[in-house]
Amino acid sequence: MNDWLGRAAPDLDTIEQMARATVADLPPAFAAPARAIVLRVEDFPPEDILEDMDIEDPFQLTGLYMGIPLTEKSVMDIVDRPDTIWLFRRPIIDEWAERGDVTLGQLVAHVMVHELAHHFGWTDEQIAMIDRWWE
């Protein structure tokens, strides 16, 4: 019990380190393209993202991939911003506390891999078919 005295919630850098460790542990064929994605870790999603996604509660969004999936990329694409994965610290910590059955590192890795799957061209439905995390 005393192990928690004097401890603070993980900060943005800690969440980012967990996400980067996940990428480092990927098989080489996936790790190289994953390292090319910009990683942004923020406390909450920006208001414009919430509005665009029609989300009222910022705690509902733990991560987001913004970009063109590899399966849809073309040399003809006009790139206006780099492919980016966003992780949102407060919703991740909130979900971790509510679940109580996984480590924070496991949850961060799960969210990161889910967003990477979108980069590799998988839909939410395809991810759900093999990922039983939420059951």
Q: Which of 83, 86, 94, 81 is nearest to 112 (CA)?
A: 86
pLDDT per position as a tens digit, 75-109: 777 777 899 999 999 999 999 999 988 999 999 99
Q: Which of 9, 41, 4, 46 is nearest to 22 (CA)?
A: 41
Distance between CA atoms of 112 and 19, rounded to whole angstroms? 6
Q: 2-68+80-130: which CATH architecture? A: 2-Layer Sandwich (3.30)
Q: One-letter amino acid identity for 51?
A: E
79 or 55, higher pLDDT: 55
Which are the contacts of 67, defined by CB distance < 8 A and separation ≥ 6?
37, 81, 82, 83, 84, 119
In this prediction the pTM is 0.87
